[in-house]
Structure 1
Amino acid sequence: MRPQQVLVLGLILLVPVLAFLFLKSFGTNRYALPTFLPDRVDSTQVAGKWQRDTVYHQIGGFRLASQSGREVTGEEMQRKGLYVANFFFTTCPGACPRVTSQLVRVQEKFRQEPRVALASITVDPAHDSVAVLARYAEEYGAIAGKWFFLTGDKTVATRLATEEFRLAPSIDPGSLHSQQVFLVDRAGHVRGRYDGTSERDVNRLITEIEVLLYTYDHQ
């Protein structure tokens, strides 16, 4: 056998070995989602040593009416596993329809996954009654029990937007709607924030939902 042939054969045999070593070294690494909205830093004692640990905000409870007329609570949304939340109003002519259209993609991607839900909360409950939301939900093909369009007392929506999800009151004069979309885990922590008008950002949301579901299955 010629030296060149020996060299080629050696390289062919070496490739799978190198691939195995690479996967063995790096295959166990996982992509970890960040947690948003830090509340405070606490000191905890671990193995006799004090360590500083960040405590993150948990989305507080709420009770709102869905497009079907049934009341939905924050606890119910968390029990599902995770949910995607946004703030909108049905007469919004700009970003809201674009965000809702992107969220259709999220719904369809996880149509068969019961642990994924969506909550679109109106910031104009005076106009957005249950009947109005029912028509809006139907227009976008919302699946009953999966995508909830929620309405209720104005103060509840305002508290959720500004105190729980910490949207700035100055986002839009006279309104708290936003093109931001949030990913909330089963502990009530915000694990992702996205521009709901951006296809690229919503693609990232879909990927990070899959990552979060993976962590639930592989603790």
Structure 2
Amino acid sequence: MRPRQTLVLGLILLVPVLAFLFLKSFGTNRYALPNFLPDHVDSTQIEGKWQRDTVFHQIGDFRFQSQAGREVAQAELADKGMYVASFFSTTCPDICPRVNSQLMRVQEKYRREGRVRLASFTTDSHQDSVAILARYAEQYGAIAGKWFFLTGNAASLNKVATEEFQLPRPLRAGSTMTPSSKLFLVDKDRRVRGIYDGTKEKEVNRLITEIEVLLYTYDHE
């Protein structure tokens, strides 16, 4: 056999070996979700060298009244797994119905998954807001204990929206914030792991995919 033919044959035989080694080395890598809402940068000294590390914001505690008339705290939403947060108004004619229709898909997908919950914060402030929310939740088929429509005083809602989820502040002082098309995926450590446009089916498909990633992470810790 000629030297050139021998070399070609050797390379052909070598390709499967290299492919096997590549897959063995890198095949176990998984897609990891990023963190959002950076808080500050920490410096830590390791072996005499300073290393900078970004610390991401943790959503602060809150407690609001739900459509069932009882108070719901963040611990009930996050500690069991994760929740999807949104901000809406019952009088919003366009964005809110589109977002809530997409959230119905998420609820149906995870109907039997107790670690996934939804929390929709209303920007309305009515004397009979609980009754209004109950009718609104019924309109979208909200499952009790799965999808919470939450309300409270304007100052507390604005604080959660603008300081915790970093949404824009109201244009006028003392007014409630405007509804948002954004959805936030919050993990059990109360950190935001994804932000999505809730009016777009493709974005909500991505949300569902990333919920699956988080669930997989929890199952294989």
Q: TM-score, normalised by structure 2?
A: 0.86
- The equivalent residue for 1:187 is 189
Q: Kindly tell me: are residues 15 and 175 of structure 1, through their superposed partners in 2, closer, same or farther at Cα, counting changes over 3 Å?
A: same
CA distance in 2, matches of 1:209, 1:152: 28
Report deviation, 1:45.
2.6
Stretches (4+) displaced over 2 A = 13-26, 45-50, 125-128, 169-176
CA distance in 2, matches of 1:157, 1:40: 24
- The equivalent residue for 2:208 is 206
- The equivalent residue for 1:106 is 106
Q: Kindly tell me: are residues 218 and 47 of structure 1, through their superposed partners in 2, closer, same or farther at Cα, counting changes over 3 Å?
A: farther
Report deviation, 1:191.
0.5
CA distance in 1, matches of 2:109, 2:14: 40
Residue pair 1:58, 1:190 contacting (<8 A) in 2 also? yes
Q: Does 1:64 align with 2:64?
A: yes
Residue pair 1:133, 1:149 contacting (<8 A) in 2 also? yes
- The equivalent residue for 1:143 is 143
Report deviation, 1:26.
3.0
- The equivalent residue for 1:86 is 86
Report deviation, 1:176.
2.2
- The equivalent residue for 1:216 is 218
Residue pair 2:124, 2:176 contacting (<8 A) in 1 also? no
> Mean alpha-carbon deviation: is it higher for 42-51 or for 105-114?
42-51
Residue pair 1:104, 1:140 contacting (<8 A) in 2 also? yes
Give SS of 2:152's match: coil
The one-letter amino acid of 1:125's match is S
Deviation track 1:28-48 (CA, whole Å, cap 9, x = no partner) reads 111111101111101113344
Q: Kindly tell me: are residues 26 and 154 of structure 1, through their superposed partners in 2, closer, same or farther at Cα, counting changes over 3 Å?
A: same
Please list, as runs of the form range in 1=range in 2, the aligned pairs for 1:12-161 lying within 5 A after superposition. 23-126=23-126, 129-161=129-161
Residue pair 1:41, 1:55 contacting (<8 A) in 2 also? yes
The one-letter amino acid of 2:63's match is R
Over aligned residue pairs, what C-alpha RMSD do you find? 2.3
Give SS of 2:84's match: strand
Report deviation, 1:24.
2.3
Deviation track 1:112-163 (CA, whole Å, cap 9, x = no partner) reads 1100000000011227711111111111111100100001111111111111
Q: TM-score, normalised by structure 1?
A: 0.87
Q: How many residues of Structure 1 are paired with residues of Structure 2 in the alignment?
A: 207
Q: Which sections of structure 1, spanning at least 5 residues, go unmatched?
A: 1-12
Q: Kindly tell me: are residues 21 and 88 of structure 1, through their superposed partners in 2, closer, same or farther at Cα, counting changes over 3 Å?
A: same
CA distance in 1, matches of 2:128, 2:34: 34
The one-letter amino acid of 1:67's match is Q
Q: How high is the sequence identity, in percent, across the aligned residues?
A: 69
Deviation track 1:85-136 (CA, whole Å, cap 9, x = no partner) reads 0000111001000000000000111111100000000011227711111111
CA distance in 2, matches of 1:162, 1:126: 21
Report deviation, 1:175.
3.9
Q: Kindly tell me: are residues 16 and 126 of structure 1, through their superposed partners in 2, closer, same or farther at Cα, counting changes over 3 Å?
A: farther
CA distance in 2, matches of 1:155, 1:47: 47
